[in-house]
Amino acid sequence: MSRVGKSPVALPQGVEVSIKDDQISVKGKGGNLSVPQSALVKILNKDGHLHFEPIDESREANMMSGTLRQLVHNMVVGVTQGFERKLNLVGVGFRAQAQGAKLNLSVGFSHPVDFTMSEGITVTTPVPTEIVIKGADRQRVGQIAAEIRAVRPPEPYKGKGIRYAEEKIVLKETKKK
């Protein structure tokens, strides 16, 4: 059995989980999230913990039990604490400005780049060279952070561009005469 699938998911106070034939829904103070239910996994709710068991001993059912367990765990963490990604802008004149659900980037192009955040995702700029993306859905937070980074990824010679806060850029050495 999957090692991840063996560990149960604890349900904190204030989190409601509804398991239907076709989907699993998690409701909490951070919002509502749902994921499709797999026919290969049996879910049991025992005294505040969700247990995920494969329906049979097939490899697909084993893999799906670990995958579904981790997806539900991410939803529980998302509706209780939420997820966040930080991006840094490195470069002369590079700056970001958040205005409600919009993000305005000035990253060395002849025009500003605008992003509109989807519902459930908030963006803030504590300083003009830092972007903080927050939300309950881990996948959407990461996807939006990747799309913003793709506007101007860090270049390998000076390191200018948009990078994740924890990202280390290995700089290339310039040509020697």
Shared-domain flag, residues 103 and 51: no
Structural domain span for residue 128: 83-164
Name the nearest CA neighbour of 162 among 99, 85, 110.
85
CB within 8 A of 130, min separation 6: which ones?
86, 87, 88, 89, 96, 165
Please determine, for residue 120, whether its predicted confidence score (pLDDT) is greater than 70.
yes
Shared-domain flag, residues 76 and 108: no
Shared-domain flag, residues 9 and 36: yes
Domain's final residue, options 55, 80, 105: 80
- Taking only the tens place, the pLDDT of each residue in 8-41 is 999 999 999 999 888 999 999 989 999 999 999 9
Confidence tier at 91 by pLDDT (50, 70, 90): very high
pLDDT at 175: 85
30: domain CATH number? Answer: 3.90.930.12
Residue 147 has which token pair?
Answer: 């799309």
In a domain, 20, yes or no: yes
- How far apart are the C-alpha atoms of 12 and 77, rounded to whole Å? 9
Domain's final residue, options 80, 115, 143: 80
Question: How many H helices and E strands in the chain?
Answer: 3, 13
- DSSP H helical segments within 38-120, as ranges? 59-80
